[in-house]
Amino acid sequence: MTTLNRQLRLKARPEQLVGPEHFDLVQSPVPELAEGQALVRVLYLSMDPTNRVWMSDVPQYMPPVAIGQTMRGLGLGRVVASRSAHFAEGDLVQGLVGWQDYAVIDDKRAKDWVKLPPHPPVALPTLLGACGFSGLTAYYGLTDIAPVQAGETLVVSAAAGSVGSIAGQIGKLRGARVVGIAGGADKCRHLVEDLGFDVAVDYKAEDFKKKLAEATPDGVHVNFENVGGAVMRAVMSRMVNDGRVALCGLIANYAASGRPSDDYSVIIVKRLTVRGFLVFDYRDAEKGVRELTQWVLQGRIKAGETVTEGLENAPKVLNRLFDGSTVGKLVLKVGDE
């Protein structure tokens, strides 16, 4: 029996939000494996803001996805057939599987894939969230890029999201006063009551700036920035002199049309150090994964995922990153474990 593979191929570049109209759902037989190849059944796709950036023809850290190409995406899956020297049937692997049911992986690019333990100590979606790249982004942002010290005030934007929720909890583990910014009363309650943030501020509230000022009476020493735009400007205006910014993301810009309008002048006025970073640069992330996994197993960090289903829903589901309707890591289930 021929195994069929479904692929979401980029048909048109979205201007703002993403829809099915930007993709072709193409079905074709899984290719014959060549020597040195393995076939991976994709189980979970990580839904990330960077997916949206990859759809746009703007300067970025990887080439944009070409029209007609299967959408690039991080995920994990299980090897179901193998002619490979590196990957055996049953292996669990993580990498750029793409928005499809099956991925063919190649020994020549073995280093692009992370082999996961066969029986992971945490749920598979958590391997894409708190114990995966989302958690690692928070981890390296606050230990290497803008290390936060005990007693300092850390502000985290998009704090209910996959990276922000972990960043805030790491801030608490390091002894900082942690202020989270999120949209709506429910998320703010979640940050304080479930995740242990000191204060949460609702950026949708009319008195957001006033509330942010009240929440940061000593100013902001470290800004873990995920959002950009008006939220970022509000936080930057609260920075102490010589403050530090871990510039992780600018999600407010990603699905917006037109050029983002930011302002560098505050960096001079407050003598800030702003460092941009990409988690993929931390090749040897074992220490980070180990520490995060321990924290999750010890209950010191709460992992949270929003899992939805169906490859065909990927374009619509991705928008949940931009409309604020998700808490924790957003994961799409593509196949049964």
Enumerate binding residues for a copy of itself (CB under 8 A).
58-61, 228, 232, 237, 247-250, 253, 259-278, 281
Closest distance between a copy of itself and the C-beta of residue 23, in Å?
A: 24
Total number of residues shown for the chain = 337
Report in angstroms how near the CB of residue 59 gets to a copy of itself at its nearest. 6
CB of 247 to a copy of itself, least distance (A): 5
Least distance CB 144 / a copy of itself (angstroms): 11
Nearest to 75 by CA among 109, 108, 51, 57: 51
Q: Which is nearer to a copy of itself, 138 or 247 (CB)?
A: 247
Residue (119 or 259) nearer to a copy of itself, CB: 259
Task: Kindly report the backbone phi and psi dihedral angles of residue 163, in degrees, each rounded to the nearest multiple of 5, phi listed first.
Answer: -85, -45
Please state the closest distance from residue 306 (CB atom) to a copy of itself, in A: 24
Question: Which residue's CB is nearer to a copy of itself, number 33 or number 267?
Answer: 267
Nearer to a copy of itself, 68 or 276 (CB): 276
Nearest to 332 by CA among 11, 44, 19, 33: 44
Tokens of 114: 């992370």
State the nearest-atom distance from the C-beta of 240 to a copy of itself, in Å: 13
C-alpha dihedral, 215 to 220 to 225 to 229, nearest 10°: 70
Nearer to a copy of itself, 120 or 229 (CB): 229
Q: In whole angstroms, how close is the CB of 212 to a copy of itself at the nearest point?
A: 15
Q: 73 or 249: whose CB is closer to a copy of itself? A: 249
Q: Which helix (H) or strand (E) holds 297?
A: helix 286-297
- Alpha-carbon distances of 158 from 3, 203, 255, 298, 322, rounded to whole Å: 40, 10, 15, 25, 10
Q: Bridge-partner residues for 70, per DSSP?
A: 9
In the complex with a copy of itself, the residue whose CB is nearer, 250 or 303, is 250
Q: Determine the Cα–Cα distance for residues 330 and 264; give it in Å rounded to an integer.
A: 31
How many CA atoms lie within 13 Å of 137's alpha carbon, on the beta-carbon side?
A: 28
Other Cβ atoms closer than 10 A to 30: 18
